[in-house]
Amino acid sequence: MRDPSTPFRRIPSVDEVLKTAPALAAIDRFGRPSVVDAVRAALDDARHALGNGAAAPPPAEEVAAAATRRLEAESRLRARPVFNLTGTVLHTNLGRALLAEAAVDAATAAMREALALEFNLADGKRGERDDIVRDLLCALTGAEDATVVNNNAAAVLLALNTLAGGREAIVSRGELIEIGGAFRMPEIMARAGATLVEVGTTNRTHEKDYRGAIGPQTGLILKVHTSNYRIEGFTKEVPAKALAEIARGAGVPLVNDLGSGTLVDLTRYGLAHEPTVAEAVADGADLVTFSGDKLLGGPQAGFIVGRRELIARLNKNPMKRALRMDKIRLAALEATLRLYRDPDRLAERLPTIRLIARPRDEIAALAARLLPALAVAVGPGYQAAVTDCASQIGSGALPQQTIPSAGIAIHPARGRSGGALAALAAALRALPIPVIGRIEDQAVVLDLRCLEDEARFVANLAGLSLGKGV
């Protein structure tokens, strides 16, 4: 038993705390069971504080306030919006493409209301969900037919399993990519039930290498866009067109995995040329696979476009059902693809293109406007300055190319410890809308290419709390 004269005896009881005004307000917001749990946790903290030498226990109101703060922190969504100031427009860890307003509206309607999803409004009969985007995809790519699945990894898996399950798939050694995580081409092949036949060498693959590998067991030839690296120097790859001729001559399908795949010529926006889906189709690939949430700027999706009889075989594979798209993303996808019917206005309507094409001078002017507010927010322990940045598209699109951009670099003031930089990055991440920059040359760099809501950014900074003496 504790000595009754100790402060432990004066810690309020759970019931006392629950009767206070702040606790009653919290019960209104969060419900009684959650508040009881939070009050118990806050009382545990108070007991620990006393054990560590605190002079007196907190009054009941203070315990209730602590419990409320705990509940507020817990009730914040894990999947919550952040400011992506990494300089990478399509950041896989931050959700890749931002959707166009038209796509957001379509997705919202699809969530709230019943949808003509697998229902043909013309004749009242059952329809196919892919019909929603099939004609659009064919029109935009020049392909005969199209199907949609969960993402491009699923598209590749479905194509391999359908055309090369129990058979061989021929790939150049220079194209055996790893995209990230567990997406490695040899492993996808194995899971698809296809036997990988590697041809050529890491840096050079010739037409004769492919010809020599084709045999009675060949299910398909796979060409993979080396989206996240480039092999340079003494290199040789067989262009898609020549590969299509070899495939056609041997009577085996050619599948071209474009990865990002764009529907417009990016040179329009001052970028290097990235092969378009229409070009890949015109070059003779029997199937072309690409992503929905990379350069295309839509929701997560995987497309397979190409020859009608092959698409029909993919659609009959039971795997297709397991990999299909949901109604919310299909609705967003249709609205996104429709924007491509008016390419001249794409840059104003599609955030991915708008952000990639955003002029450096506009971003630099934004940086100059924000600098004073940031300098005040970080306080005298840090120095903020406008800086040049090099943005990236990300998600494996044009890995070699950076886009000139501008931002703000924040350095710890002279004489501060090494922890000051990490403390700043952590404080920015702890804001109501977390700010995600990158650490570079002993500074936190905020590339402002993807910052569009200036007022919201400034208001958010008011919550910045940098502990003293780090």
The CA distance from 88 to 440, in Å, is: 14
Q: Tell me how many residues contact ligand PLP (CB under 6 A).
A: 16
Shortest Å, Cβ 395 to ligand PLP: 6
Q: Using CB under 6 A, which of the segments 15-23, 136-144, 151-159, 232-240 binds ligand PLP?
A: 151-159
| Runs of H (alpha helix) within 251-398 | 277-282, 308-316, 318-322, 327-339, 346-349, 351-357, 360-378
Q: Which of 228, 315 has the CB closer to ligand PLP?
A: 228
CB of 260 to ligand PLP, least distance (A): 6
Quick one: 303 or 457, whose CB is closer to ligand PLP? Answer: 303
By C-beta, is 183 or 269 nearer to ligand PLP? Answer: 183
Judged by CB under 6 A, does residue 152 bind ligand PLP?
Answer: yes
- Residues 371 to 400: which contact ligand PLP by CB under 6 A? 396
141 sits near ligand PLP (criterion: CB under 6 A): no
CB closer to ligand PLP out of 337 and 461: 337
The interface region with ligand PLP, picked from 44-52, 192-200, 223-231, 304-312 by CB under 6 A, is 223-231
Q: What are the Cα distances from residue 143, in Å, to 135, 243, 426?
A: 10, 18, 48
Q: Is residue 352 a contact residue for ligand PLP (CB under 6 A)? A: no
DSSP 64-89: HHHHHHHHHHHHS-SS---EE-SSBS
Range 64-68, long-range pairs (CB < 8 A, 24+ positions): 64/17, 64/18, 64/20, 64/21, 64/22, 64/23, 64/26, 64/39, 65/22, 66/42, 67/17, 67/23, 67/26, 67/35, 67/38, 67/39, 67/41, 67/42, 68/22, 68/23, 68/25, 68/26, 68/38
Nearer to ligand PLP (CB atom), residue 171 or residue 443: 171
Q: Choose which of 88, 141, 161, 227 interacts with ligand PLP (CB under 6 A).
A: 227
Contact positions with ligand PLP (CB under 6 A) in 251-270: 257, 259-260
- When binding is defined by CB under 6 A, the residue of 20, 151, 161, 172 that contacts ligand PLP is 151
* CA distances (Å), origin 304, targets 95, 286, 315: 22, 10, 11
Binding mask 169-188 for ligand PLP (x = CB under 6 A): --------x-x---x-----
Residue 96, SS3 per DSSP: coil
Q: Among residues 12, 253, 302, 351, which is the contact residue for ligand PLP, using CB under 6 A?
A: 302
CB 38 within 8 A of CB 67: yes
Binding characters for ligand PLP, 34-73, by CB under 6 A (x = yes): ----------------------------------------
Q: Nearest residue by C-beta to ligand PLP?
A: 259
**Smallest distance from the beta carbon of 261 to ligand PLP, in angstroms?**
8
CA 279/CA 388 separation, integer angstroms: 35
- Select 237 or 257, whichever has its Cβ closest to ligand PLP: 257
| Pair 11, 50: CB distance under 8 Å | yes
Distance (Å) of CA 451 to CA 1, 354, 444: 59, 12, 16
Q: What is the distance in angstroms between the CA of the first residue and the CA of the last residue of the chain?
A: 41
**Is the CB of 320 or the CB of 411 nearer to ligand PLP?**
320
Q: Which of 291, 336, 387, 405 binds ligand PLP (CB under 6 A)?
A: 291
Q: The tokens of 470 are what? A: 């780090």
Least distance (Å) between residue 222 CB and ligand PLP: 10
Report angle CA 207, 211, 212 to the nearest 5 degrees.
Answer: 115
Q: Note the residues at the interface with ligand PLP (CB under 6 A).
A: 151-153, 156, 177, 179, 183, 224-225, 227, 257, 259-260, 291, 302, 396
